[in-house]
């Protein structure tokens, strides 16, 4: 057992830290998604030029071929130093790895480089209005017509669809096959005729996500990834990559959040003292620190296990569940600390911390829904880790 980094891992961390500190462009623009995207594109181009975009990708595809621990270090440092997100986060974390795992040589040639350079942004077309947790029930149809597929349907929760060139689209190609078997994975050009993205305004007031309406869009056959009818397993690769890649960034974000929460408690006056002296606040803050530490240590245990077995296990679901829970409770505690000031939001001159916690409180409501609801994660844990019988 050794919870420290090896000398070479430590050296890697120093390198990452040094590069981010020297190139950090400062905080993201406060307003305007357009401005934010432009800022993130520029940041990703800088990352790519220095070889930090797609660090998990093999070197032959323009990546860095980093080990899992190096990826964890990179993501952890980037989050700790609050580096901006790259513009093409879904392309880097999901699209590229899927093309590398399931794509043809021609597809690799065509798609990988523009993902790294942020020239082409990717989005994910999985969820539908009637297929959320039950993803395999999705209804978007693709019908073969010559060397094209004619696609009709609707997707939802499509992050940054309005900026995307490519959509990782899962559609039903065989309506008669059992529901997991009749699906195919396509790359859909968002500029095709018949494809329309409309921002979906969420409870924070922003339009981070979109609805995508597809009306007889024609996708060429060469844009199928993997086998026709093999879309489910390709989609699963995407989701596994999403979950494994996010953990260490989320952990560092929580650590930063806790630090801010401690500072908020120390600065907030209440009952003739500060919130940091209030025994109830202290208990809740300590409990969050403890759980954040168990989440961090669980992730390291999981990483050790994955490095031995080669594949991330279903235990990763525990971490996503726990992260959502901690993130929500941090914001809840912050609002309780702010007391009467809790309603004042971004844009109000009296809002505490510029209304950052009000935003977190609202945005974190989605944490237990996005990327697998907590309820579904509990099913996965019950069935795949504990071996309990399936619900049906």
Catalytic residues: 242
Q: Is 1 in the site for another protein (CB under 8 A)?
A: yes
- Compute the distance between CA of residue 33 and CA of residue 20 in angstroms, rounded to an integer: 23
**Closest separation in Å from C-beta 392 to another protein:** 8
- Compute the distance between CA of residue 10 and CA of residue 13 in angstroms, rounded to an integer: 5
Rule CB under 8 A: choose which of 208, 300, 329, 370 binds another protein.
Answer: 300
Q: Is 5 in the site for another protein (CB under 8 A)?
A: yes
Q: Is 18 in the site for another protein (CB under 8 A)?
A: no
Query: Nearest 5°: phi and psi at 315?
Result: -60, -20
Q: Is 80 in the site for another protein (CB under 8 A)?
A: yes
Q: Which stretch binds another protein (CB under 8 A): 216-224, 256-264, 330-338, 356-364?
A: 256-264
- Compute the distance between CA of residue 265 and CA of residue 333 in angstroms, rounded to an integer: 10
Residues 6 or more apart from 274 whose CB is under 8 A from it? 265, 266, 267, 268
Residues 6 or more apart from 160 whose CB is under 8 A from it? 37, 90, 121, 123, 208, 210
311: DSSP letter? S
Rule CB under 8 A: choose which of 130, 282, 339, 348 binds another protein.
Answer: 282
- Compute the distance between CA of residue 136 and CA of residue 133 in angstroms, rounded to an integer: 9
Residues 6 or more apart from 20 whose CB is under 8 A from it? 77, 78, 81, 83
Indicate the burial class of 308 (C-beta count within 10 angstroms; 0-12, 13-18, 19 or more): exposed
Q: Which of residues 138-167 bind another protein (CB under 8 A)?
A: none
Q: Which stretch binds another protein (CB under 8 A): 88-96, 139-147, 277-285, 353-361?
A: 277-285
**Closest separation in Å from C-beta 328 to another protein:** 15
Q: Which 3 state secondary structure label does DSSP give 314?
A: coil
**Closest separation in Å from C-beta 293 to another protein:** 6
User: Given the DSSP bridges, would you call strands 166-172 and 122-125 parallel, antiparallel or unpaired?
Assistant: parallel
Rule CB under 8 A: choose which of 58, 175, 287, 313 binds another protein.
Answer: 287
Instruction: Provide the token pair at 374.
Output: 């907590």
Q: Is 259 in the site for another protein (CB under 8 A)?
A: yes
Q: Which stretch binds another protein (CB under 8 A): 211-219, 239-247, 347-355, 374-382?
A: 374-382
Instruction: Provide the token pair at 157.
Output: 């929760």
**Closest separation in Å from C-beta 93 to another protein:** 19
Query: Nearest 5°: phi and psi at 198?
Result: -125, 125
Q: Which stretch binds another protein (CB under 8 A): 30-38, 217-225, 236-244, 249-257?
A: 249-257
Q: Which 3 state secondary structure label does DSSP give 126?
A: coil
**Closest separation in Å from C-beta 353 to another protein:** 14
**Closest separation in Å from C-beta 145 to another protein:** 43
128: DSSP letter? B
Q: Is 315 in the site for another protein (CB under 8 A)?
A: yes
Q: Which stretch binds another protein (CB under 8 A): 28-36, 74-82, 83-91, 337-345?
A: 74-82
Among 264, 242, 243, residue whose Cα is nearest residue 353: 264
User: In the complex with another protein, which residue's Cβ is closer, 99 or 295?
Assistant: 295
Where on the chain is the footprint of another protein (CB under 8 A)? 1-6, 9, 13, 69, 73, 76-77, 79-80, 251-252, 255-256, 258-259, 262-263, 265-266, 276, 279, 282-283, 285-287, 289-291, 293-295, 297-298, 300-301, 303-305, 308, 315, 318, 321-322, 375, 377-379, 381-383, 385-392
């Amino acid at each position: 057992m050794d919870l420290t980094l090896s000398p070479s891992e430590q050296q890697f961390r120093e390198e990452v830290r040094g590069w981010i500190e020297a190139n950090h462009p400062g905080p993201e623009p406060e307003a305007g998604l357009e401005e934010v995207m432009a800022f993130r594109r520029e940041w990703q181009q800088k990352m790519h030029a220095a070889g930090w975009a797609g660090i998990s990708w093999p070197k032959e595809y323009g990546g860095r071929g980093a080990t899992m621990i190096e990826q964890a270090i990179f993501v952890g440092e980037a989050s700790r130093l609050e580096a901006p997100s790259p513009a093409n986060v879904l392309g880097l974390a999901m699209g590229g790895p899927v093309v590398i795992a399931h794509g043809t040589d021609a597809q690799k040639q065509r798609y990988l480089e523009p993902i790294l350079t942020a020239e082409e942004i990717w989005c994910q077309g999985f969820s539908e209005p009637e297929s959320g947790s039950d993803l395999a029930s999705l209804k978007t149809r693709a019908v073969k017509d010559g060397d094209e597929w004619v696609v009709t349907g609707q997707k939802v929760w499509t992050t940054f669809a309005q900026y995307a060139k490519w959509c990782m689209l899962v559609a039903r190609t065989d309506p008669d096959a059992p529901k997991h078997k009749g699906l195919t994975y396509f790359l859909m050009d968002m500029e095709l005729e018949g494809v329309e993205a409309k921002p979906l305004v969420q409870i924070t007031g922003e339009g981070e996500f979109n609805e995508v309406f597809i009306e007889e869009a024609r996708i060429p056959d060469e844009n199928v990834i993997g086998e026709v009818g093999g879309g489910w397993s390709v989609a699963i690769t995407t989701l596994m990559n999403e979950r494994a890649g996010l953990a260490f960034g989320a952990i560092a974000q929580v650590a930063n959040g806790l630090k801010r929460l401690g500072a908020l408690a120390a600065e907030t006056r209440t009952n003739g003292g500060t919130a940091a002296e209030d025994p109830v606040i202290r208990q809740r803050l300590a409990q969050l620190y403890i759980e954040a530490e168990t989440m961090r240590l669980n992730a390291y245990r999981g990483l050790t296990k994955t490095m031995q077995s080669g594949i991330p296990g279903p235990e990763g679901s525990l971490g996503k569940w726990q992260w959502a829970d901690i993130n929500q409770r941090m914001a809840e505690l912050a609002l309780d600390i702010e007391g009467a000031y809790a309603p004042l939001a971004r844009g109000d001159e009296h809002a505490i911390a510029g209304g950052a916690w009000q935003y977190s409180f609202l945005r974190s409501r989605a944490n237990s829904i996005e990327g697998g609801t907590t309820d579904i994660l509990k099913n996965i844990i019950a069935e795949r880790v504990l071996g309990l019988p399936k619900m049906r």
